[in-house]
Structure formats: C-alpha cells, structure tokens
A and B are shown apart, each in its own frame.
Chain A
Amino acid sequence: MTTTVPAPRPARPTPGPLQETTPTFVGMPKFPKAAKEALANTQQRRNLAHATGVIRAKRARVVGELPHWEDLRLAGSQAKDEMMTHLAAYLEQLETNLVRNGAQVHWARDAAEACQIVVDIAKTKGTDEVVKVKSMATQEIELNEALEAAGIRAWETDLAELIVQLGHDRPSHILVPAIHRNRSEIREIFRREMHLVGRPAPDDLTDEPRRLAEAARLHLREKFLRAKVAVSGANFAIADTGTLVVVESEGNGRMCLTLPETLISVVGIEKVLPTWQDLGTFMQLLPRSSTGERMNPYTSMWTGVHPGDGPQEVHVVLIDNGRSHVLADPLGRQALRCIRCSACLNVCPVYERAGGHAYGSVYPGPIGAVLNPQLRGTASAVDKSLPYASSLCGACFEACPMRIDIPSLLVHLRARVVDESGRKSAEAKAMKGMAWMFGDYRRLEKAQKAAKLGGRLLGGRTIHTMPGPFGPWTSARDVPDLPTHSFRDWWDARGGSGGAGTAGSPPSTTQEQR
C-alpha cells in the first residue's frame, strides 16, 4: 500500500527539530479523557452526526462520477512524493519564480519566527488590523494570538472561522471549523458578539442559514473595504511557475487576496507542487474530497505581483515548523502529502462521535492522529494517546485522495510510543509475563488449567470490569469468557497426539524438538 514511499530503513536519517506545542494545547488531557467529555455533549454529537452524514453522501456522489478516481489518487500521491523527496530543489525553484515575479520570500524555521515575520510586515505598514483568509498554517502557528499581542486585530473572514472567533471557541474540523455548532447556536453567537467588534447583527436575525450568511456578508464588508493588509495561506504553491493557489467558497478569500494593498501568505513547505500541470490532478481531487462538489465556487491563483491588479506588495512566508522532522521518517513522511481536504474526518467513526476538540490540535481526526505525534513528538499525554484514537477500520485510507495509509501509520506510531515508554509500563510487564508463559508448554498447560478452573467457577457469567491496572482495559470491553475446556483437552480427546496421522504434530512435540 505504500509502494510510492521508499521502504523503511532500520536507522532514521537525522530528523529536523520538532514543532513546539503551542500554549493553547499544552496540558491537553489524553484523547480518551477528552473524548469522554465530548461524548457527554449530546447536542454536539447530533450536530456532528448530521453534518458528517451530509458530507459523506455528497462526496460519494461526486467521486462516483469519475471512473478514473483511482488514477487521480495515484497521480496526486506521486506528485507529492516527487515534491517531498526533492523538496530542497523544488523550494529553490519556487523561490526563484516568486522573486522573479515581484514577491518577497521569507523563511521561518518555526512558529515563533513565522509569527514575528508577519507581525513585522504588518507593523511596517502601520496598520492595527488585518483581514484573514481561512488558513490551517496560520492556526497551527497561532498567528492571531501573536498579532493580538502586538496590538493588531486579526479578523477571520471565513464564515465558520468567524463563528469560531466570535464564539471564543476552538475549531473542531479542518474544513468546517464550526461543524460542532448548529444554526441556533450560531444565531446566538452573532447576536451576542457582532456588535462588539463591528457592524451588529440585524435585529430580526433568524436561524435560517441564508439569513446568517447575509449577516456575515454585511458584518465583514466594511472590513474588506478598509483593510490595508491581508493574511492568507495557500492550498498549493507551484514550483515551476511561482503561482500560489487558494481554494474557497464564499468569496472572502477573493476579497482578502484582491482588495488590500499588501498580502502575506503563510505556506507550509509541503504545499509545493512540482509543476503547473499537476494542478489538473489536484483541482479534481480536492473539491470533490472536501466539500463534495465538482468544483468549489472560487479559486484564486496569483503569480507574484500583478501591476494594476490586486495587492502591489506580495509576501510569501515558507514555514518548516516540524515538517522536516516528519520528512525524515521514510514511512511517516507520507502524512506530508495531506491537502487538508478533511475527507478522513468525515468518514471516521471515532471523529464522528468524539468531535475535533478531543484531538488537542488544529489538525483533528485520523490525519491529526498521525500528523500531530510526528510534528510535535510523543512527549505529551495527548500526542502519546493519538495513535490509539482509532479502531483501524481503514475508512480513512479509502477516502484519502492522497492515498495516505493512515492505518499503517497509526500502527507505526503506536510502536514508537511503546518503544519510547520503555520496559516499565504495565503493558510491557504483562507482555514479558506472557512471553515467559508461552516460552514453555508446561507453563502454558498450567495456566490453561487455572483458566479452566476459573471458567468453571464463573459458570458462564461475564466479567465486565476489573480492578487495579486492568481497569482501563475493561473500561471499553468485557473480559473474554474463560473456557471450561481447552484446545489441548479437545485435541487429546479426539486422539490427537496418537491417531491424527499427518494432520499435524501435537504442540508438545513441536516444543520438545526445539
């Protein structure tokens, strides 16, 4: 399944530094605890089940229209693999083309450096506000907080981001950050908050989505018209032309990318596409996978500065922030193919129930479960627990337009977490005990005799919970019923050791031959 990624080697190449965990997510509880709290929120569970159900059906319909979908997935994943395995060369090409067309290129090793660059540019422009296009990269580096600290207000202009920002909330989905809110909650947020930061919500605002969208249009228009500086991310940065691409729906992106005098785009280094022609593949894969449309309403593409049209000062901030660390793992690097479509969230049974906040990152869901522990390392409780936030059902891999083998990555990361936790964990001790027991058939027989005795004592009753160290294990499952009869008894009873002929040697014989 990972044929396009080179086979893992025993020794890892030198990894880059990890991403620093931002203040928002320091001390996040591990996933099971956060998920348990989220599961108790029945309103949120209803909202999520409805929304993910709608988007799954839409996606399935438009993906089904394309008989060559699998060829597109292969072409897309191969383009990303070509990019990441020669990233330095493509970054150089991108930079050369950007600079040739009048853009200014900035490099940022980590989140703090990236934020400082943006703050400095905004300050040079003498502005105290910026308008923002929805961007995962700027959320990841917590740019809004950095701008705020420097006295610059950052206005989110995507409708869902606006809902999250006005609600003093955190995003819970990559594509639809306010997916955990329903229409009447949104109406309340607009009525309560809009007047504090600009044009108030209309007095007669209802919870009809059309009216809510209209309220956002009116509220944000004055900000678009007066803003001097805009901040965006980019879905793609095309190396061989120096073109940046932003894919969106509402037109807020076009407003930000067109009306202000200065544009700053914060772009992860893995957003590079090798060639312009690759866009033909990605513009088919992304809209159908994310919003379940044949094409998203608006896509903007710009190549440096366009005299007389749009911002006349164009900055591009290329950020590493842990990506080179992910790149250094030959198996794990495929997570960098991610185009943030969120198809894996929408099909995930765990995400649909637990919601996005439990993942403790701006990247929730299956992709978050493999990306965060690689970007941030596995030191914190939440990052250690994320590789386990999955039933390994495989729906995410099926849905991923980039063919990221998320289930295999989860297993890979579980192994890393176990290796790092050393020999002292309860699991490691239990496994050591198991190894001792299985190491000699006489010990195994004794253990089976004990189990049979236990089975007779229980008489068919099931143990649902256990005390002490086994408690967490039984919190989500029953103890398997103990047998009153073992395989060995059965084998012996049917004359296995003497009369089975060529059907197979009894286990004891095998053991003795060793």
Chain B
Amino acid sequence: MTTTSLPTAGPTGSGRSPEEVRNAAARAAIMSRVKAAVTDVSAPFGARGEAPRVELVSASRAETVELFVENVEDYKATVVRVKPGEEGTAIAEALRRVTSVVVPSGLEPAWTADLPDGIRVASDDHLSNATLDGVASVVTAAAAGVASTGTIVLDHGPDQGRRALSLVPDLHVCVVRASQVVHDVPEAVARLRSAVEPDASAGMPRPLTWISGPSATSDIELDRVEGVHGPRTLHVILIED
C-alpha cells in the first residue's frame, strides 16, 4: 500500500485552478484519514486472495436453458423459442401490433427482412431523444443470459445499439442465443469482464445493462407492478442453437 504522488486530473504546479487546489487538499485529507483509521490492521493489501466464486452448478445445458426460460417468464416477459433461421418470422410476429421500430446498425439484416408491411423502420442515425420517444419498438441482440435469475445482459455492441435505443421505446424485442445463456451470475460476470476491461485491441470499455423482465416497481404497498419508465413489454426470442 504505497502512496504515489497525486494522480488527480488536471495540470499540477503553479497553473492550478482554485478547484484543483481544493480537490487535491480534500483528497489528501481523506486519504490520510482512512489510513490513520486502520493502523490496527496487519493483513497486507490483497491478503484475501482472489474473490471466491459462489454459484449454483448446472446439471446439463438443457436444464440451464429450461431454467432461463422459466425465470424470464416469471417476470411476466414473453419467451418464444425458435430454431436457427426462424428469427425473422418470430420478430415479424412480435412486431405485429406496432407501427414503428428502431434497429441497431449491426443487427443481423435477415432478422428484419420479413417485417410486416406498413411498419416504419428507423435505423439509429443519431436519433434525438424526442425522435426516439416517438418510436414504438426496438429489436436488439444480447450479450449473455443468466438462467438462475432470468437475466439478459446487453453490452451495447453493434447488434444491440447504444443504451437509449433499448430504453425509450415501449416494446423491447430481444434475441438471445441459447449458447449465450450461462447458469449463474458469477459465470456471467466472468464472461463480461472483457467488456469493462478490454485488452489493447478491443478499444474502450462498453457499458452494460442487465435486464430482468420489463420495468417494474414495488413502491406502492410493495406490490409489484410491471411497466414504469423502461419498456413495458419485454419479448424474448430464444434461438435454440
């Protein structure tokens, strides 16, 4: 636990603004307090070792996929299971009742080839928040699924789009491959590490959104109500690959 010189943002030396001076003083004071507070501790930094992985273990792939479907449906989301190649039909069926859809730039083109006539398809060309608010639905892929909790994780890659796309429209059609579904949370966390701490080739870290059912609230008498600010309908298409 060595103290290095202050790596705070901003220039050092005589050209510092009053705010930078204040910030450095506050930082130094807090660091010195938290060090003084634990002089009784003898265990060295990192003595705990690697964080343990406490998790449920799957009996089989089939069990994991069944549990995923069961838990997603438990949140009052719809799950439709399809064979590879049937995604386009399933997506068209899911969008039967809406008049507009926004599609991320990297979505598999075949998935939106069979959309119903008359549906307005917007590609995400820097749509403003207000424009996006006028779009009824969105179709995205996913980065991972978690069976034990019924969770879908988006890493907002090109086939999922930026975060606003899967947030503002009221219907979210999300396509998950069975091969992306892991059994429990720690396995998903391990898989997603490359999104938040990419190596030199992968560029900047990506944001993550974990989605477990449609938006909901329990704020009124602790009774769960589905549908507040996020998409009120979550429609999952599971490709059994």
Question: Residues of A with Cβ closer than 8 Å to B?
Answer: 6, 9, 13-16, 47, 50-51, 54-55, 66, 68, 71-72, 75, 78-79, 81-82, 84-89, 91-92, 95-96, 99, 101, 104-109, 113, 120, 157-160, 163, 176, 178-179, 182-183, 186, 209-210, 212-214, 216-217, 220-221, 224-225, 238, 240-243, 249-252, 254-255, 257-259, 269, 274-281, 283-284, 287, 291, 293-304, 306-310, 318, 320, 324-325, 327-328, 330, 333
A224: B residues at CB distance < 8 A: 129, 229
B54: A residues at CB distance < 8 A: 68, 71-72, 75, 280-281, 284
> Is B133 a contact partner of A249 (Cβ separation < 8 A)?
no
> Is B34 a contact partner of A91 (Cβ separation < 8 A)?
yes
User: From residue A469, how far is it (CB to closest CB) to chain B in Å?
Assistant: 39
Would you mind naming 10 contact pairs between A and B with Cβ atoms under 8 Å apart?
A: A75-B51, A85-B38, A99-B9, A159-B228, A251-B228, A277-B189, A293-B212, A304-B204, A327-B33, A327-B38
> Is A304 a contact partner of B205 (Cβ separation < 8 A)?
yes
> Is A294 a contact partner of B149 (Cβ separation < 8 A)?
yes
User: From residue B79, how far is it (CB to closest CB) to chain A in Å?
Assistant: 15
> Is A309 a contact partner of B207 (Cβ separation < 8 A)?
yes
> Is A251 a contact partner of B207 (Cβ separation < 8 A)?
no
**Interface residues in B192-238 (C-beta closer than 8 Å to A):** 193, 196-197, 204-223, 225, 227-231
Tell me, yes or no, whether B40 is within 8 Å of chain A by CB. yes
Tell me, yes or no, whether B56 is within 8 Å of chain A by CB. yes
- Give the residue among A113, A159, A183, A257 with the most B Cβ atoms within 10 A: A159
Known contacts: A279-B189, A310-B207, A328-B37. The answer to whether A79 contacts B4 by CB under 8 A is no
Assembled-state Cα–Cα distance A105/B9 (Å)? 7
One of A6, A9, A51, A105 near B221 (C-beta < 8 A) = A51
Q: Closest A-chain residue to B35, C-beta based?
A: A88
User: From residue B6, how far is it (CB to closest CB) to chain A in Å?
Assistant: 10
**Interface residues in B1-50 (C-beta closer than 8 Å to A):** 1, 3-4, 7-9, 19, 22-23, 26-27, 29-31, 33-43, 45-48, 50
Tell me, yes or no, whether B156 is within 8 Å of chain A by CB. yes
User: From residue A62, how far is it (CB to closest CB) to chain B in Å?
Assistant: 10
Q: Closest B-chain residue to A14, C-beta based?
A: B36
Known contacts: A78-B48, A109-B26, A224-B229. The answer to whether A241 contacts B36 by CB under 8 A is no
Known contacts: A6-B40, A107-B30. The answer to whether A306 contacts B207 by CB under 8 A is yes
Known contacts: A113-B26, A159-B217. The answer to whether A87 contacts B196 by CB under 8 A is no
> Is A79 a contact partner of B36 (Cβ separation < 8 A)?
no
One of A104, A258, A281 near B163 (C-beta < 8 A) = A258
> Is B222 a contact partner of A276 (Cβ separation < 8 A)?
no
Assembled-state Cα–Cα distance A13/B38 (Å)? 7
One of A79, A241, A295, A327 near B37 (C-beta < 8 A) = A327
Q: Closest B-chain residue to A158, C-beta based?
A: B219
Tell me, yes or no, whether B167 is within 8 Å of chain A by CB. yes
> Is B190 a contact partner of A249 (Cβ separation < 8 A)?
no
Q: Closest B-chain residue to A302, C-beta based?
A: B207
User: From residue A146, how far is it (CB to closest CB) to chain B in Å?
Assistant: 17
> Is B129 a contact partner of A259 (Cβ separation < 8 A)?
yes
Assembled-state Cα–Cα distance A214/B39 (Å)? 53
B38: A residues at CB distance < 8 A: 13, 84-87, 327-328
One of A91, A240, A254 near B229 (C-beta < 8 A) = A254
One of A88, A238, A284, A333 near B1 (C-beta < 8 A) = A88
User: From residue B102, how far is it (CB to closest CB) to chain A in Å?
Assistant: 14
Assembled-state Cα–Cα distance A278/B211 (Å)? 20
Known contacts A85-B38, A299-B210; 9 further A-B pairs (Cβ under 8 A): A6-B42, A91-B34, A95-B7, A251-B229, A274-B51, A284-B54, A302-B207, A303-B196, A327-B38
> Is B185 a contact partner of A280 (Cβ separation < 8 A)?
yes
> Is B196 a contact partner of A243 (Cβ separation < 8 A)?
yes
Assembled-state Cα–Cα distance A390/B96 (Å)? 57
> Is B1 a contact partner of A330 (Cβ separation < 8 A)?
no
Assembled-state Cα–Cα distance A14/B39 (Å)? 9
Assembled-state Cα–Cα distance A54/B223 (Å)? 8
Assembled-state Cα–Cα distance A314/B56 (Å)? 36
Q: Closest B-chain residue to A310, C-beta based?
A: B163
One of A220, A277, A294 near B190 (C-beta < 8 A) = A277
B168: A residues at CB distance < 8 A: 259
Tell me, yes or no, whether B162 is within 8 Å of chain A by CB. yes
A298: B residues at CB distance < 8 A: 209-212, 215, 230
One of A249, A251, A303 near B218 (C-beta < 8 A) = A249
> Residue-by-residue, is B173-197 near A (CB-CB < 8 Å gives 1, otherwise 0)?
0000000000011111110010011
Assembled-state Cα–Cα distance A303/B197 (Å)? 9
Assembled-state Cα–Cα distance A250/B220 (Å)? 12
Known contacts: A99-B7, A105-B9, A249-B216. The answer to whether A280 contacts B186 by CB under 8 A is yes
- Give me the 7 closest cross-chain CB pairs, A-B, nearest first: A251-B230, A280-B186, A251-B229, A324-B33, A295-B149, A328-B37, A309-B162
Tell me, yes or no, whether B148 is within 8 Å of chain A by CB. yes
Tell me, yes or no, whether B137 is within 8 Å of chain A by CB. no
Q: Closest A-chain residue to B55, C-beta based?
A: A280
> Is A250 a contact partner of B196 (Cβ separation < 8 A)?
no
B167: A residues at CB distance < 8 A: 251, 254-255, 258
> Is A86 a contact partner of B205 (Cβ separation < 8 A)?
no
Assembled-state Cα–Cα distance A276/B190 (Å)? 8
> Is A225 a contact partner of B130 (Cβ separation < 8 A)?
yes
Tell me, yes or no, whether B97 is within 8 Å of chain A by CB. no
User: From residue B118, how far is it (CB to closest CB) to chain A in Å?
Assistant: 26
- Give the residue among B8, B190, B217 with the most A Cβ atoms within 10 A: B217
One of B50, B75, B146, B209 near A277 (C-beta < 8 A) = B50
Assembled-state Cα–Cα distance A395/B130 (Å)? 49
**Interface residues in B50-91 (C-beta closer than 8 Å to A):** 50-56, 71, 74-75
> Is A101 a contact partner of B204 (Cβ separation < 8 A)?
yes
Assembled-state Cα–Cα distance A105/B156 (Å)? 25
Q: Closest B-chain residue to A281, C-beta based?
A: B54
Assembled-state Cα–Cα distance A1/B185 (Å)? 28
B211: A residues at CB distance < 8 A: 297-298
Assembled-state Cα–Cα distance A415/B69 (Å)? 53
> Is B34 a contact partner of A324 (Cβ separation < 8 A)?
yes
> Is A291 a contact partner of B218 (Cβ separation < 8 A)?
yes
> Is B207 a contact partner of A250 (Cβ separation < 8 A)?
no
> Is B219 a contact partner of A9 (Cβ separation < 8 A)?
no
> Is A297 a contact partner of B31 (Cβ separation < 8 A)?
no
Assembled-state Cα–Cα distance A71/B56 (Å)? 12
Known contacts: A281-B52, A324-B37. The answer to whether A47 contacts B221 by CB under 8 A is yes
User: From residue A77, how far is it (CB to closest CB) to chain B in Å?
Assistant: 11
Assembled-state Cα–Cα distance A291/B215 (Å)? 14
User: From residue A59, how far is it (CB to closest CB) to chain B in Å?
Assistant: 11
Assembled-state Cα–Cα distance A460/B151 (Å)? 65
B229: A residues at CB distance < 8 A: 157, 217, 220-221, 224, 250-252, 254-255
